[in-house]
Amino acid sequence: MAKFVIEGGYRLSGEITPAGAKNEALQVICATLLSEGEIEISNVPDILDVNNLIQLLINLGVSVRKISKDTYIFCASNVNLNYIETEEFAKSCTMLRGSVMLIGPLLARFGKAIIPQPGGDKIGRRRLDTHFHGLIELGAEFNYDAEGSLYRVGTKNGLTGKYMLLEEASVTGTANIVMAATLAKGTTTIYNAACEPYVQQLCKMLVKMGAKISGIGSNLLTIEGVDKLNGCTHRLLPDMIEVGSFIGMAAMTKSEITIKNVNMPDLGIIPSAFKKIGVDMEIVGDDIVVHGSTPMVIDKFIDGGILTISDAPWPGLTPDLLSVFLVVAVMAEGSVLIHQKMFESRLFFVDKLIDMGAQIILCDPHRATVIGLGKGGKLRGAKMSSPDIRAGIALLIAALSAEGTSTISNIDQIDRGYEQIDERLKALGARISRVG
């Protein structure tokens, strides 16, 4: 099992460019199943989750050509639908959370879909109810095979558009329903739709393919079904989670780092949230320059209360970055409450930080109070294991700032979401090596 060995306590410097957005990639790659035409997607990140999904599509019979380092052409003109009945397909899906977004395209175009309980991070309950309730509203029949842990959906007479109010603004749920609705008869209206940039990008790509979607960027989407979709060309946004991770890394290691081509309009409140915990940065064109040598002081609320950083549906703060905010706050002066509302197991990695010398009170599965070490505070190296992608990057950030040597095992979890992270950090001066 591979691990990272990190010699911490060194400042980094230079420029780094975020890879393409993982969460967007998983959605738009699944959407290629909706058309027989060729779809060219660029800025695709070279990470485990995306590569596994691409291989899954290849196994389904989708033609995939890699024409450059980060650009692929997909053509789903000869899909082998029998493959979804195989054990191999089920096994592949259980290793990948993004596989759940195959349901909508398969159902819309072929009239049936089978999916096992998808894999992904073990960060608490991740319900699929929104996905299936939405598809049932469109006319799908749903069955759950408890013995094989398989979800089956199908339709005899095709899907029909309908008004629906989602019980939660699920990103992947919205994506699945939108993809299914593009080929449904009539008009589908989705209220309380997720409006994250990933969903916006998916909708924009579908429009380029010939779909009729209005309300993009809002929580009220209207989709007029069409008979077929065509090919198109699409480029992924830079990954905002990588951008936030690099901001945190620069601040934590007291480094001067420039993050290039971040696509500022789609970062939402991420930069301002980092400023609240004392990170000094400036926007130069479409780049972010982090002045990590500036001492960090955590803001207070106007009435003097302790600051709270919490996740919320877009345009609120993405839950994928709360682990990074937590670890950065460890080295700041002041206190902050980190409130992870969405997942009940995502904060358990703080035990590792406490072992490194952090002052953190885990209040309950959703909340942790960080009492910053402030100027002169230091963490010490430790042996750790990455429980999920985002906790993994947070532990890596902590290790880079700590005195002494740290080891992080189970780094496949980090590789699932961050492209060649060790090599990119070495280019900034990090002392990190991959062992095993």
For residue 172, give both structure tokens. 């992947």
- Give Cβ neighbours of residue 414 (< 8 Å, ≥ 6 apart): 4, 386, 389, 392, 393, 396, 408, 421
Instruction: Decide: 57 and 81 in contact? Cβ < 8 Å.
Output: no
C-beta separation of 365 from 347 below 8 A: yes
Q: Which of 219, 129, 225 is nearest to 186 (CA)?
A: 225
Q: Sign of torsion, CA 413 416 417 419?
A: positive
Phi and psi at 240, nearest 5°, equal: -65, -25
- From the list 312, 298, 411, the residue with the least C-alpha distance to 359 is 298
User: Is there a cis peptide before residue 319, judged by omega within 30 degrees of 0?
Assistant: no
- Give the span between the Cα atoms of 309 and 148, in whole angstroms: 41
* Annotated active-site residue in 46, 49, 121, 239: 121
Cβ–Cβ contacts within 10 Å for residue 145, how many? 11
267: Cβ–Cβ under 8 A, 6 or more apart, which residues? 240, 243
For residues 197 and 174, is the Cβ–Cβ distance under 8 A? Answer: no
Residue pair 328/294 in contact by the 8 Å Cβ criterion? no
121 catalytically annotated:
yes
Report which of 317, 328, 349, 329 is spatially closest to residue 247, judged by C-alpha positions: 328
Tokens matching residue 395:
């532990």
Region of residue 3 (left: phi > 0; alpha: psi -120 to 50; beta: else): beta
| Distance from C-alpha of 415 to C-alpha of 385, rounded to nearest angstrom | 13
Taking each helix axis as running N to C, give the angle between helix 389-401 and helix 322-329, from 0 to 180 degrees, rounded to the nearest 10: 20
Given the structure tokens 């294991």, which residue do they identify?
385
Residues recognised as catalytic: 121
